[in-house]
Homo-oligomer: A and B are copies of this chain.
């Protein structure tokens, strides 16, 4: 198995890879917009015009009354005033000296008329006699022929994405259909012996195949059509057949996911080479560097093929970075850069020189600053892309950024959403997920974004002005009181309100059936046990340290004290997976993963609110939920939670 391992990819810079690839497309005539097709206007929304649209007829195509009223000859109205009214007669010039003919809005003027008097300005006297007390100018209240569009004029240029009103204008100037760019057909081939379909049974090592769902949805949202191919195992011949079929099947582009790296089961590059040529293998971009770019031949057709990395974040970013500009080019559309926002980085980030890095971040406004916080950089963590508010690009000649640097965020959400985000930081609690959920239902204009840095980390972030609220459960061993001492110490001089979210039970989380027969804290000194701890600054860790001390134990005696997990659920998952034999956390986390639990006591979980944020609408929307009966009931239904003090002010600190 190791013999055929090709260890290294020779990554080349992103710009160079793209230039090389597009030059090859240019040389084969593939770097240009696709041919046009004619579609009815009812189905043309969002399509891209393939050529200019010239008015075929004028609109209106006749002189139309712009009002409900009477068509008249302007000269017949001359001299009419309040004191010297003029009398008109319903009829036409054959029947009346000063004729007036009723017209509704949109109706054509009679040949002989050149103006309209509004109905409000006409006094019927009976017998068809109409009194007017003001004259009208020629063409008053008339929409002359061509007022909107004149035959032969340009209504819309080529390369325009059609909006609803455009379709109206195209219909209005005499067309029933419109020539638009054909939509590129993108074949997506999932490869990998480890892949299973969503919903299939899982065994260790099996991977739910969802990259094709993400890539397919990206292609559709960028104007392409998708040819979904059946997943194939890591077998050179089968992959080759599937790719060759797609190429002969009029695909505009083939995406092979994954097998694009250089492992023993990575066949993508070899398949492309066998059917055409590999232009690039390996790009210096993070995440996502093992990208393959090539061309596949089928008969007289040449089809570009991309080997897309398998990690979901890499796959999605490969879509954004390389697939989208291809589709834009084929649709003849400018690649519009995403909206950007400037913000202040909340912590230092290092980035390898040599690589272009796409760093996922959250962004939110606190007071008058926009704060940008890097998310985890693991390429396997699709939830980081879900949570991301945008991307900060760190170019390959940069080593990264310091905390406080101003950076540009390429937004995934609208600036409106960024501006309407309430940032909550600190200790993780399941209740925060419920809070986010209830906020989305009750007040969809706001969004709760939470970052989990532990209770102390939260208070320090509040002091630095990096969040609106912090969740904390910090026991002062000396006083037995929660949070107040720590707010005084870590947020000196700031006016802070502590609002109780819930009381919650903490204890030891153990494998089901407690196979290692753990009775309490004291057992954790046993050398055969592995403990899963929380990170420094976490309230649960402080509580654990306190309980250790009470039991007369030192951290060094606990095997796994350095194994830091970031949430209660992560601790439970570590126990569930066998990575650890015990951890400390809330009862709800143990119950969620069907684990055993030894209670060690109830603690108070508060939200710390700097008073300077107390009047912000998003903050009040969040705090209002603490008095929402349905929210309280949902929290009370979590095992080990006590809502009797929810929403009460535990302390005002200034």
Please report A residues at the B interface, Cβ cutoff 8 Å.
1-2, 5, 7-8, 41-42, 45-46, 52, 57-64, 66, 68, 102, 104-108, 111, 114, 119-120, 124, 138-139, 143-160, 163-169, 171-172, 174-176, 194, 198-199, 202, 204-205, 207-208, 210-211, 213-218, 220-221, 228, 261, 263-265, 310-312, 316, 319, 332-334, 336-337, 339, 378, 380-386, 412, 414-417, 420, 430, 433-434, 436-437, 439-441, 444-445, 563, 567, 569-570, 572-574, 576-579, 592-593
Query: Do B62 and A102 have beta carbons less than 8 Å apart?
Result: no
Of the A-B pairs whose beta carbons lie under 8 Å apart in the complex, a sample of 18, sorted by A's number, is A5-B119, A42-B216, A45-B221, A57-B202, A59-B383, A60-B380, A106-B194, A143-B380, A145-B576, A150-B569, A153-B569, A157-B440, A164-B216, A165-B386, A168-B385, A169-B383, A333-B444, A336-B414
Given that A148-B381, A165-B214, A199-B176 are contacting pairs, would A437 and B5 also be in contact in the complex, using a CB cutoff of 8 Å? no
Expressed in whole angstroms, the minimum distance between the Cβ of A105 and any Cβ of chain B is 7
**CA A64 – CA B593 in complex, angstroms?**
19
Residue among A139, A147, A172 with most chain B CB within 10 A: A172
Q: Which residues from B are CB-within-8-Å of A381?
A: 147-148
Among B158, B167, B168, which residue has its beta carbon within 8 angstroms of that of A441?
Answer: B158
Given that A52-B437, A102-B1 are contacting pairs, would A175 and B198 also be in contact in the complex, using a CB cutoff of 8 Å? yes
Given that A151-B592, A416-B336 are contacting pairs, would A440 and B5 also be in contact in the complex, using a CB cutoff of 8 Å? no
Query: Do B164 and A218 have beta carbons less than 8 Å apart?
Result: yes
Given that A63-B577, A145-B576 are contacting pairs, would A158 and B106 also be in contact in the complex, using a CB cutoff of 8 Å? no
Query: Do A332 and B444 have beta carbons less than 8 Å apart?
Result: yes
Q: Which residues from B are CB-within-8-Å of A158?
A: 437, 440-441
Q: Which residues from B are CB-within-8-Å of A60?
A: 207, 380
**CA A205 – CA B208 in complex, angstroms?**
62
Query: Do B263 and A168 have beta carbons less than 8 Å apart?
Result: no
**CA A412 – CA B160 in complex, angstroms?**
14
Among B380, B412, B440, which residue has its beta carbon within 8 angstroms of that of A159?
Answer: B440
Query: Do A167 and B57 have beta carbons less than 8 Å apart?
Result: no
Residue among A102, A157, A592 with most chain B CB within 10 A: A157
Which partner residue on chain B sits nearest A120 by CB separation? Answer: B7
Q: Which residues from B are CB-within-8-Å of A228?
A: 42
Given that A105-B261, A153-B433 are contacting pairs, would A66 and B166 also be in contact in the complex, using a CB cutoff of 8 Å? no
**CA A59 – CA B175 in complex, angstroms?**
53
Given that A382-B169, A437-B157 are contacting pairs, would A579 and B63 also be in contact in the complex, using a CB cutoff of 8 Å? yes
Query: Do B169 and A386 have beta carbons less than 8 Å apart?
Result: yes
**CA A621 – CA B333 in complex, angstroms?**
16
Q: With A149-B383, A164-B216, A168-B382 given, can you name 13 additional A-B contacts, CB distance below 8 Å?
A: A41-B210, A66-B380, A68-B261, A107-B194, A138-B563, A143-B378, A144-B574, A146-B574, A148-B383, A154-B437, A157-B439, A159-B441, A165-B312
Among B168, B310, B444, which residue has its beta carbon within 8 angstroms of that of A213?
Answer: B168
Residue among A205, A417, A445 with most chain B CB within 10 A: A205
Residue among A159, A174, A416 with most chain B CB within 10 A: A159
Q: Which residues from B are CB-within-8-Å of A592?
A: 151-152
**CA A208 – CA B535 in complex, angstroms?**
69
Expressed in whole angstroms, the minimum distance between the Cβ of A290 and any Cβ of chain B is 10
User: Across chains A and B, which 5 residue pairs bring their CB atoms closest together, nearest first?
Assistant: A146-B573, A154-B433, A157-B440, A171-B210, A164-B217
Query: Do B380 and A316 have beta carbons less than 8 Å apart?
Result: no
Which partner residue on chain B sits nearest A447 by CB separation? Answer: B157
Q: Which residues from B are CB-within-8-Å of A108?
A: 204-205
Query: Do A154 and B436 have beta carbons less than 8 Å apart?
Result: yes
Q: Which residues from B are CB-within-8-Å of A114?
A: 579
Query: Do B68 and A213 have beta carbons less than 8 Å apart?
Result: no
Q: Which residues from B are CB-within-8-Å of A143?
A: 378, 380
**CA A524 – CA B153 in complex, angstroms?**
28
Query: Do B106 and A444 have beta carbons less than 8 Å apart?
Result: no
**CA A412 – CA B166 in complex, angstroms?**
12
**CA A615 – CA B333 in complex, angstroms?**
24
Q: Which residues from B are CB-within-8-Å of A569?
A: 146, 150-153
**CA A264 – CA B153 in complex, angstroms?**
36
Among B171, B316, B445, which residue has its beta carbon within 8 angstroms of that of A164?
Answer: B316
